[in-house]
Amino acid sequence: MMTKTKVAIIGPGNIGTDLMFKVMRLSTSLEMGAMVGIDPASDGLRRAASLGVPTTHEGVDGLIAMDGFDEIGIVFDATSAKAHVANAAKLAAYGKKLVDLTPAAIGPYVVPPVNLEEHLEDHTREPSNVNMVTCGGQATIPIVAAISRVTAVPYAEIVASIASKSAGPGTRANIDEFTETTTAAIEKVGGAQRGKAIIILNPAEPPLIMRDTVLALIGDAEESTHDAIRASIEDMVAKVQEYVPGYRLKQQVQFTEIPEDEPVHTLLPKGSPKVTTKVTVFLEVEGAAMYLPAYAGNLDIMTSAAMRVAETIAERSASRAKEEVTA
């Protein structure tokens, strides 16, 4: 039986608390080592303490001072972009792996089914801080990548619509960072030459589950290419569903011919070849309702992706340690 890796979660809000429940109920390779906050009256800290998880309301300084800090191998940060910069600086000297659930993007963007493996292939060069982009990025970048591995994508645009009730203070404080980070990751991870991201906080009552739209402009109108894109997207959706069961296509992938007089050139990067076809993909993400309501799929996909990354790191580390012992 593999020894579990202890983890700490900074930020006992909705995301951090949901992540704690996932680690405790689902993970075979991770175990809770600490829940960290700054408000002693925090509901997340109270819940953690009631479950026997060590807690501190003194932030990262309190985490570093805790008994058992040396045993913690991975630290999740579910605070805010600004807070993560300070937290990462304080933890830099201690050799912990940081999984950043904020849009701070200090480390490389990681979307598990797209580029996790390339960051973990050589453990001597593994980043100590990886960034989970955003909830919209985790939902839509796999689709952009699925299209771009079939044909060039001069332009990709995503619209993420989430229930207003699922957007806590951290999300609301990071709206600008959300669009900037997601846009950059659409290009760097998704493979689009130019990207754009839009987030909508939907105030509908009762709250609606997360809905995402991916629009990509391509220059290949061949039916065989469209069939390959459909297959690639279906394959990618299946990979995301391995850790987010509520992730699904809302309807069939759509291909629309772009009229000659439509001014799409304003969206394309300079020197881009002519585009002929618009690819539209509609998604929805239903949460697991383990701690948060089912409509909070945006938070569920973030915590699920973050745990996928941490589990992979932990499993690779345990495998290397075993190899060193038997060598």
The amino acid sitting at 79 is T
- Max distance between CA atoms of the chain, in angstroms, equals 67
Tell me the Cα Rg of the chain. 20
Q: For residue 123, what are the CA distances in angstroms to 58, 114, 298?
A: 32, 18, 30
At residue 285, the pLDDT reads 98
At residue 326, the pLDDT reads 74
At residue 272, the pLDDT reads 93
At residue 20, the pLDDT reads 98
The single-letter DSSP state of residue 164 is: G
Catalytic residues: 135
Residues 6+ apart with CB under 8 A from 104: 81, 82, 84, 85, 88, 131, 177
Q: Are 209 and 300 in contact (CB under 8 A)?
A: no
Question: Mapped to the 3 state alphabet, what secondary structure does 176-213 carry?
Answer: HHHHHHHHHHHHHCCCCCEEEEEEEEECCCCCCCEEEE
Identify the sign of the CA torsion 177, 178, 180, 182.
positive
Residue range 201-228, pLDDT digits in tens: 999 999 999 999 999 999 988 999 999 9
Residue range 46-88, pLDDT digits in tens: 999 999 999 999 999 999 999 999 999 999 999 999 999 999 9
At residue 249, the pLDDT reads 98
Question: Which stretches in the chain have pLDDT values below 50?
Answer: none
Domains of the chain, first to last: 5-132+301-326 (3.40.50.720), 135-286 (3.30.360.10)
Exposed/middle/buried for residue 288 (C-beta within 10 Å: 0-12, 13-18, 19+): buried
At residue 319, the pLDDT reads 82
